[in-house]
Amino acid sequence: MDRYHRSFLAFAQIVREGSFSGAARAMGISQSAVTQHVHKLEREIGEKLLRRGRGGPELTAAGRALHALADQLLVLDQRIAEKIERQRDLAAGRLEIVANAPLPALRLIGAFSTAFPEVQFDFTLRDWTSAMRLVRERRVDIGVITNPEGAGDWNTHVLERPRYVAYLQRGDPLADEPGLALARILERRLLLPEPGSLTRRVVCAKLAELGLDVARSMTVSSFPLMKEAVLHGVGVGIFLEDSTVSSEGLIMRPITDLTARFETALVVPRDRADLRLIETFVHMALDNCDRQT
């Protein structure tokens, strides 16, 4: 096993970084050395572990079977390194974070960056389905996800409980109404996130339940794009409340058919939860949440 230790670490780093070059930087070795490590494992196993994909290396069936163990070994290496170095502060380090809504995650990253300015972040904004997949595949350290899956090898910490609201132009006549039914919103063009998003799933399920057909709609890839579309009079957007810091030109109205609240939570792989950097981020996030409630 010892002679394959570095090979397993290289394999896990490639998946985590999404590239051979990223793994080489993380390990402080050359890209050719990373490639050799993976080839060594593949020769021993007799199967390919990675294949070339559009977004970078992708796991084969054999790679998926091996990856969870390899990533656990990588986490264990990190934990051992922390113990050996007896890290007294958080002057350096890096966190990989994915979110399905930008504002809660960016608010936390901003607060943490103020306290620990040398810590680096890789932040990815994905739809709900893709964000949960990255958590399940152990590609990230922390997820900031609305209504995350309950069952899995991760811990969840609830931060807030938002509801869905309609975003309109301030001058829109619908903005004068204290609450809007979905049927009323459908008098305008409906703006929804891409397929795979929690918002789209929730809204479409409610529309089907009410027997409502959407005559005009547009898919937007992110909240900032939806915000711009609303400001330009394209339609009415449905998103979680308080998804933006700046609401100039926008107004939020409750949706009378969507009164349920959803939980936005930190999602952390259990075997990474006591890594000092991740543990500190979680504690700070929960402290900030307690102060705001």
CATH number at 151 reads 3.40.190.10
Note whether 185 and 124 are same-domain residues. Answer: no
- Asked whether residue 57 falls in the same domain as residue 201, the answer is no
Say if residue 43 is in the same domain as residue 18.
yes
The rounded distance, in Å, linking the Cα atoms of 103 and 166 is 17
Per-residue pLDDT averaged across 91-112, rounded? Answer: 89
**233-283 pLDDT tens trace:** 999 999 988 777 666 788 999 999 999 999 999 999 998 898 888 999 999
Q: Which domain holds residue 142?
A: 94-159+263-292
User: How far apart, in whole angstroms, are the C-alpha atoms of residue 225 and residue 166?
Assistant: 15
Same domain, 54 and 67: yes
pTM over 0.75: no
**How does pLDDT run across 9-20, given as a tens digit for each residue?**
999 999 999 999
pLDDT in tens, 22-79: 999 999 999 999 999 999 999 998 999 999 888 889 999 999 999 999 999 998 888 8
Tally of structural domains, the chain: 3
**Rounded to whole angstroms, how far apart are CA atoms 9 and 178?**
56
**Radius of gyration (Cα) for the chain, nearest Å?**
22
Q: Do 130 and 267 belong together in one domain?
A: yes
**Do 186 and 218 lie in a common domain?**
yes
83/138: higher pLDDT:
138
Domain boundary among 85, 115, 150: 85
The last residue of a domain, from among 40, 61, 85 = 85
Q: How far apart are CA 269 and CA 229, in angstroms?
A: 36
Residues 250 and 169 in one domain: yes
User: CATH no. for residue 11?
Assistant: 1.10.10.10
Same domain, 121 and 177: no
Alpha-carbon distance 197 to 240, whole Å? Answer: 12
Question: Which H/E stretch holds residue 287?
Answer: helix 276-292
Upper half-sphere CA count for residue 129 (Cβ side, 13 Å)? 9
On whether both 105 and 64 belong to a single domain, the answer is no
Q: Are residues 155 and 271 in the same domain?
A: yes
Residue 293: predicted pLDDT: 58
Calculate helix-pair angle for 5-17, 31-45, nearest 10 degrees: 110
Q: Which of 85, 104, 129 is the last residue of a domain?
A: 85
Does residue 108 sit in the same domain as residue 32?
no
Instruction: Give the type of residue at 224.
Output: P
- Residues 17, 43: one domain? yes
